Structure 1
C-alpha cells in the first residue's frame, strides 16, 4: 500500500521509520535535515545509509508496521517559558568565525571551513583575505540536502581529521552533504545534559534518537550515563563506534542500535523500558533501514507521545530539536505542552543560535539561528 499523506485529526500510523534523510552520513535521517542552518545540510539525516542523498519516498506497506493511536491526554498543561534562546559561542575545537552573504566561516580544529548558510543575510564582518585563507570550501548544490563537493584551496586534505568537544574526541569528515560529523548548535543541549548527569545521585539512562555520529551519546557516557543510541544508518553507527574508540570509551555502557526510530521506541514502550533523559533530533524527511518513511509533520506527534511513555518516574528531561521546517518554534512548543498534559513540569522552547566569535574565538559578533527546539523538564 502506498504511503498516503496523513491529514490532521486522523490517527497517526505507527510512525514510519525515521529515516535519516539528512545529510548526516550514516544517519538515516536526512542528516542534513535541517531547515535552518547547517543542519539543513545535515546528511540525509540519520536514517539513510548511503552518503546521503535523500531518496524519494517509495511504496511502503504501512499495514505491516507496528503502530498505536495517539493517547488522549488530560490534565493541566505544563508551565511554559518562551521564547528561550540557547546560545553557544563554541566549545572545544569549534567556533564560528564569521558569516554573511549566504556563507559561514567556521573553525574546526586546525581547519578553517566555508559552507553555505542561507540565513546569513548580512555582510561579512571580516575582510576577504581572511575568508580566502580557508582550508576547505563546500561547493555545489546549496539546497538543504543538495550534494556537492569540497574544494581545498591551500592543499589537499584527508577525508577525516581529529576533533574534540566537551571532552569527547571524534572524527570530523568532509561529506558530500556539506556536513562534517557534528552539529555544534547542539552544544547548548549537550552541556545541559552533561551537567544533569554529573549532578545526579545515580547513573542516569539516556536515549538518543537519530543519534548520527554519536557525539551526544559519548558526552552522556563520559559524564556517567547509561546510553542507548538509535540511528537507522549503518554508516552513522559505524562512524559513532569509531568515535567511541577515539574517546577511549570502549567500555562505556552504550548500546548502539541500528534501527528505525519509531519501531524501536514502540518496542521499548511495550517492554516497559524507561529513560531519564531522551534526546530526539528528527529530520524533516528520512528513511529507515527497511524502506520505512519518516515525515516530520505526519509522525512527530506520535513519536513524542511514545517518548512521554518512555520517561522514567524521576525523569530529567525530554529534548526535541527540529530543522528544515517552515514553522515557528511555537508549533513544536504547543505540541510538547499538549503531549505532556498532566505531567507537570515546564516546557521551554525557542531557538538554538551560534554567535560569531572572530578569529580568536573570543570576540562576540552576530548570532546565527540554527534550529528550533522544545524541552520538557520537571519543576
Structure 2
C-alpha cells in the first residue's frame, strides 16, 4: 500500500519529513541526538518552520497551497498553517490502523459500532473508524477544522457515510448526549494541553482531564469496545495515562506507549497513547 509520509531524519531538536513530494524541516523537542544526514541534505527541504522569536516559515512560498497524500490507508488534504501544522499528525498512524482493524473486527462479528471522536482535528481517527465500517460522530471546537475533516471524508469516498459533524465544546456536547440517552461503543480523544471551545470556553488538561474522562465513561454503551486516549502534553507519560484510565475503567485491558514518527531515520517520540479495551464481550457493568 502506498504511504506518502516518512521521517527522513531527525536530531538537534528538529525533524526532517516527507509528505508526498514536499519535504519539511520543523521543530521536534524530543530529538536530542545528532542528525544522520548532512546539513546540505537538510538544506534542500522544500520549506522549514521554527519558533525562534515567534512562528516563522522559511520558503513557505515553495509549498503548494494545498496537496493530498495517502498514509495508513487514508487520504488527507494538507496545507501549511501559521502555527507550522499541516492538517495531519503522522505519529497517529499506528492508532489509525488499530482503530480501523478493531472496528473492522467488530463489524465482521456482526456489530456496527458507534464511535465518538473528540477534539477530532482533521479527522484521521474519524476516517479510520468510518473506513472500518463504524457510524461516527466527529467533534471539534473549530468550524474550520470540521470543514477540513469533511473534505478529507470526501477524499476517501465517505461523503455519504453516516458521520455526524459537530462544532461544539466537548464537555457541553457530552453532557447533552448523556441527557438524551445516547451512548457510544468506542470513544477517541486527544485533548489539547490548552485550548478554547467553540464558545470561547477555556480547556486546561491538568484541570479538566478528569471531568472529560468521567463524561466519556458515562457515554459508553452497555457493551463497549474501547476508549483511546492520546496526548502531546509534555510530562504526561504512558504510565500516568495508564494510572488514570485504570482507575476509571478497572476491568479493561490497558495498552499504552509512545507515539512515534518513523521512516528512514531514528524513530522520534511525539506524544503518548493509552487504550482501554474490552473487546467484543465488554459489559457496561464492568466499566
State the TM-score, normalizing by the size of structure 1: 0.69
Correspondence 1:171 to 2:69: no
Q: Deviations over 1:297-319 (max 9, x none)?
A: 11101111111121122211101
Aligned partner of 1:217 among 126, 129, 140 = 126
Determine the C-alpha separation between the residues in 1 that align with 2:146 and 2:117: 12
| Corresponding position of 1:77 | none
Q: How many residues align?
A: 276
**Cα RMSD over matched residues?**
1.8
Residue of structure 2 in register with 1:182 after alignment: 88
3-state DSSP of counterpart to 1:115: strand
Which one scores higher on RCO, CA 8 angstroms, separation ≥ 6? 1
Q: Give the structure with the higher percent helix.
A: 2
Q: Deviations over 1:16-46 (max 9, x none)?
A: xxxxxxxxxxxxxxxxxxxxxxxxxxxxxxx
Q: Structure 2 CA distance, aligned partners of 1:279 and 1:327?
A: 17
Q: 1:330 offset after TM fit, Å?
A: 2.3
Distance 1:109 1:243 in 2: 16
Which deviations, in whole Å up to 9, do the C-alpha atoms of 1:156-181 show, x marking residues without a partner?
33221111123322211111111111
- 1:5 — aligned with what? none
Give yes or no for the alignment of 1:351 onto 2:258.
Answer: yes
CA distance in 1, matches of 2:40, 2:278: 50
Where in structure 2 are there 5+ consecutive unaligned residues? Answer: 280-287
Distance in 2 of aligned mates of 1:289 and 1:374: 26
The equivalences for 1:158-307 within 5 A come to: 158-200=64-106, 201-307=110-216
Q: Distance in 2 between matches of 1:266 and 1:150?
A: 44
Conserved in 2, the CA contact under 8 Å of 1:139 and 1:151? no
Find the aligned partners of 1:198 and 1:306 in 2 and give their Cα distance. Answer: 26
Instruction: Find the counterpart in structure 1 of residue 20 from structure 2.
Output: 109
CA distance in 2, matches of 1:170, 1:327: 28
Q: How far apart are residue 91 of structure 1 and its match?
A: 7.4
- Answer whether contact 1:182 1:213 (CA < 8 A) is retained: yes
Query: 2:278 aligned with 1:378, yes or no?
Result: yes
8 Å contact 1:150–1:174 — kept in the other structure? no
